[in-house]
Amino acid sequence: MTTEIIISGFGGQGIVSSGIILSHAGLYESKNVTFFPSYGAEMRGGTANCSVVISTEPVASPIVATPDIVIVMNEPSLTRFEPALKPKGLLFYNKTLIKSVPKREDITIIPVEANAIAEELGRGRIANMVMLGAMIKKTTILKLETLKRAQRKRFSRASDEQLSLNDRALDRGYGLF
């Protein structure tokens, strides 16, 4: 069983962190994982995307051409990655920031008010956590508890308050369905 994921958005939306958290969580659940970020010449503020592969087999290609799951956090990412998704794939999109409506009919489209929920929690920047929570609930590829453990690994220098807030955002996303 192999799941190929692409996460995409603006630089600063926590795209790379989301990929690393998924990878850590996969490792915690004794799966094979690879994580590959786009690494542009720009340091900040550009577009960012990353590929994550989580598998029960050794991972062949870290390059993901036709993902099973796409998470898009902004408008340009939807335009770019909706066509790449496998038929019957899952498209999670940040409905708060994306005004266009996905067009494909051979995929499952899951709108998530990621930024709106994050703002409700008091911090727009944790929209990625809301998304991750929603994604693992829908796909069951990883457990909520390992994701919480993985975000604590990723943000090991963050305050307890921040870490708890991340957990709450994961919970909110997870509780959407």
Chain contacts with another protein (rule: CB under 8 A): 20, 23-24, 27, 32-37, 39, 41, 59-63, 65-66
Query: Other C-beta atoms within 10 Å of 152: how many?
Result: 16
Could you tell me the smallest distance in angstroms from the CB atom of residue 60 to another protein? 4
Could you tell me the smallest distance in angstroms from the CB atom of residue 53 to another protein? 10
Could you tell me the smallest distance in angstroms from the CB atom of residue 63 to another protein? 6
User: E strands within 23-121?
Assistant: 32-37, 47-55, 69-72, 90-94, 108-112
DSSP state, 71? E
Residue with Cβ nearer another protein (41 or 140):
41
Residue with Cβ nearer another protein (49 or 115):
49
Residue with Cβ nearer another protein (35 or 93):
35
Could you tell me the smallest distance in angstroms from the CB atom of residue 62 to another protein? 5
Q: Hey, which residues does 52 pair with through a beta bridge?
A: 5, 35
Are 8 and 71 in contact by the 8 Å Cβ rule? The answer is: yes
Burial class (CB in 10 A: 0-12, 13-18, 19+), 132: buried
Residue with Cβ nearer another protein (69 or 165):
69
Residue with Cβ nearer another protein (66 or 164):
66
Query: Other C-beta atoms within 10 Å of 167: how many?
Result: 17
CA 20 to mean position of chain CA atoms: 10
**Which pair of structure tokens corresponds to residue 56?**
């029960």
CA 138 to mean position of chain CA atoms: 12
Could you tell me the smallest distance in angstroms from the CB atom of residue 27 to another protein? 5
